[in-house]
Structure 1
Amino acid sequence: MKEGKAVHIECSIEKELNIIGGKWSFFVLRELLEGTKRFGELKKAIPKISPKALTDTLRQLEDNEIVTRTVYAPVPVKVEYSLTEKGRAFHKILKEMKRWEAQWA
């Protein structure tokens, strides 16, 4: 065997989990994979989430460029949330997680 420089490949899931976020992120992503939604629609679709937890989750996903927030000017103000390209790419991962769960849970 040839000896050479050791190559370090980061293989930590921590980085990914920090991007995706906390426990509610998967639920929010699941809902937004169906299409653009307003805050109230997300709250209704995820009944156990508190308004504060939903707000915090949406902000974290927005900060990590997973979700985009669009504000419309009519009164009352209308805010919609949708996935970015980066967020839509998560769909493949979610499908694999569902496949794993179906086999092993």
Structure 2
Amino acid sequence: MEVCPYLEETFKILGRSWNGLIINYLSRCPEHQAHFTEMKRDLKTITPRSLSLKLTELSDWGLLTKDIVSTDPVTIVYKLTDKGISLAQALEPIEEWAQAHIQLEEQ
């Protein structure tokens, strides 16, 4: 029996550090979008370089867009695409499973 090739490709995206968390984070933001500084602030342990690389990866996969807003100063907004929103929705049952079965250490 073989593994589903579609699932295998999906885990190539989700299996990379931070990708699933960034998708989940943006799915919880108003209009599924956030600025780089907001993500860096809220995803506390990611380095700016790693965040930048991950956002580029996710954009290359068509899961988010990078929009440059002509303000003074110029701001950059990252927003989930319909494809990214769909993946975030597919992750919701996994999040529910995790809440029911994973014990987190007290912080």
Superposed pair shares fold, TM > 0.5: yes
Runs of 4+ in 1 over 2 A off after TM superposition: 17-21, 73-76
Secondary structure (helix, strand or coil) at the match of 1:69 reads strand
> 1:62 corresponds to which residue?
59
Secondary structure (helix, strand or coil) at the match of 1:33 reads helix
Which runs of no fewer than 5 residues in structure 2 stay unpaired? 103-107
TM alignment of 1:63-102, pairs within 5 A: 63-102=60-99
Report the TM-score when normalising by structure 1: 0.81
For 1:54 and 1:18, the matched residues in 2 are separated by 18
For 2:96 and 2:38, the matched residues in 1 are separated by 27
Which runs of no fewer than 5 residues in structure 1 stay unpaired? 1-7
Q: Which amino acid aligns with 1:40?
A: T
Q: Which amino acid aligns with 1:33?
A: S
Report the TM-score when normalising by structure 2: 0.80
Q: How many residues align?
A: 98
Query: Does 44-53 or 90-99 show the bigger shift?
Result: 90-99
Q: Quick one: structure 1 residues 58 and 51, their matched pair in 2 at CA, closer, same or farther if it must change by over 3 Å?
A: same
Q: Report the structure, 1 or 2, having the larger helix content.
A: 2
For 1:69 and 1:85, the matched residues in 2 are separated by 14
For 2:14 and 2:55, the matched residues in 1 are separated by 10
CA contact (8 A) 1:66 1:84 kept: yes
1:32 to 26, 40, 50: 26
Q: Which amino acid aligns with 1:69?
A: K
Secondary structure (helix, strand or coil) at the match of 2:67 reads strand
